Amino acid sequence: MATCTRDGSWALLRVLGDLPGEIRVNEPLAPYTTFRIGGRAWAMFRPYGPEALAEAVVRARAHGFPWLVLGGGSKVLVPDQGFPGLVVLTSGLTGWHEEDDLLRVGAGAALPKVARHGLAKLAGIPGTVGGAVAMNAGTKYGAIADQVVWVRALLPSGRVHTFRPEECGFTYRDSLFRRVRLPVLEVGLRPVPGPAVEPLLAERRGSQPLNLPSAGCVFRNPTDAPPAGWLIDHAGLKGARIGDAVVSERHANFICNLGRARASDVLALVERIRARVEQLFGVWLTLELEVVGE
């Protein structure tokens, strides 16, 4: 593996240069995340199709480069020092169309747009369909796993496999694709009649701090205790701040970026929250947020 940023960047450019897509070296990652936090990647690649995405990951593996597939950048915290490897964007995989009673959706399609076509219970969740499947995104009305018919993802061998729902390992805010890092390429979803989207969006706007950069809910709700937001609120931590990272006054399970927050600020605040909640309630909060590199 290359040992410095410049060497790694140009080595990746040589490895990927013939693939259809756009490649940038030493690219800042903060603009690609909803948190607006994070350092630079050695290289960033935006493939023009799923085949190019798969080949980029295969080549990165073969040459010993760390790699990361990034969708809409929600639920992600990028370290201040950045990512010493390849970041592959799914933003070129946005195509989707209806086939009888099925929605065939590229991994990079925006979830808020797709939600209007039979996935209303997911209305307002940011990010992409691929990311939503990987983390089994959902609301109190249900999760995306409820409507998955199949998922096409890249295996470690480099082969593309179509997973049936029972093979996806869906659990609360998790899946096989997230646990063992299988990049999602395309998803088949079954649209269902549901509530109108606009009231759900209004509910979300009224209960969440959408005016500031964040990654959404930071912690998973415990299975045997009150929700994480309730625990943090009743621990007196609304408004708690380290640097420009602050616990939202509107929803205590959100950490917001007031403008210049660093990943180190967010992580320090996470540990303060965990320690206080454990001290008061005996509950250790598990991250829903994915910290890149951990």
Cα separation of 56 and 45, whole Å? Answer: 8
Would you mind telling me the total number of residues written for the chain in this entry?
294
Q: By C-alpha distance, which of 67, 104, 111, 105 is closest to 89?
A: 67
Q: By C-alpha distance, which of 247, 252, 249 is closest to 230?
A: 252
Catalytic position from the list 173, 178, 256, 262: 173
Residue 106 and residue 95 in contact, taking contact as beta carbons nearer than 8 Å: yes
pLDDT at 5: 56
Q: Is 294 a catalytic residue?
A: no
pLDDT at 6: 63
pLDDT at 1: 32
Residue at a domain's end among 56, 89, 122? 89
Query: Which burial class, exposed, middle or buried, applies to 28 when counting CB atoms under 10 A from its CB (0-12, 13-18, 19+)?
Result: middle
Catalytic position from the list 217, 256, 262, 290: 217
Domain that holds residue 144: 96-189
pLDDT at 2: 35
When divided into structural domains, the chain yields a total of 3
- Beta strands at 245-247 and 241-242: parallel, antiparallel or unpaired: antiparallel
Residue 199 lies in a domain: no
Quick one: 109 and 41 in the same domain?
no
Q: Is 217 a catalytic residue?
A: yes
Per-residue confidence in pLDDT tens, the chain, 294 aa: 333 456 788 899 999 999 999 999 999 999 999 999 999 999 999 999 999 999 999 999 999 999 999 999 999 999 999 999 999 999 999 999 998 899 999 999 999 999 989 998 898 899 999 999 999 999 888 999 999 999 999 999 999 999 999 999 999 999 999 999 999 999 999 998 877 788 888 888 888 998 999 999 999 999 999 999 999 999 999 999 999 999 999 999 999 999 999 999 999 999 999 999 999 999 999 999 999 987
Contacts of 207 (CB under 8 A, 6+ apart): 250, 251
Query: Which burial class, exposed, middle or buried, applies to 244 when counting CB atoms under 10 A from its CB (0-12, 13-18, 19+)?
Result: middle
CATH number at residue 35: 3.30.43.10
Quick one: 54 and 120 in the same domain?
no
For residue 279, the SS3 value is helix
Residue at a domain's end among 161, 189, 217? 189
pLDDT at 201: 85
Cα-Cα-Cα-Cα dihedral sign, residues 188, 194, 197, 202: negative
CATH number at residue 237: 3.90.78.10
Structure tokens at 250: 């509107």
Q: Is 288 a catalytic residue?
A: yes
Cα separation of 267 and 279, whole Å? Answer: 18
CA-only gyration radius of the chain, Å: 19
Q: By C-alpha distance, which of 283, 276, 237, 241 is closest to 262?
A: 241
Residue 181 lies in a domain: yes
Quick one: 184 and 136 in the same domain?
yes
- Give residue 39's identity as a one-letter amino acid code: G
Catalytic position from the list 27, 55, 186, 288: 288
Site of tokens 């625990």: 231
Residue 237 and residue 197 in contact, taking contact as beta carbons nearer than 8 Å: no
Residue 31 lies in a domain: yes
Cα separation of 27 and 247, whole Å? Answer: 29
Quick one: 56 and 126 in the same domain?
no
Residue 271 lies in a domain: yes
pLDDT at 269: 98
Residue 274 lies in a domain: yes
Residue 20 lies in a domain: yes
Residue at a domain's end among 34, 54, 89? 89
Query: Which burial class, exposed, middle or buried, applies to 78 when counting CB atoms under 10 A from its CB (0-12, 13-18, 19+)?
Result: buried
pLDDT at 3: 37
CATH number at residue 173: 3.30.465.10
Residue 22 lies in a domain: yes
Residue 197 lies in a domain: no
Q: By C-alpha distance, which of 71, 73, 292, 21 is closest to 187?
A: 71
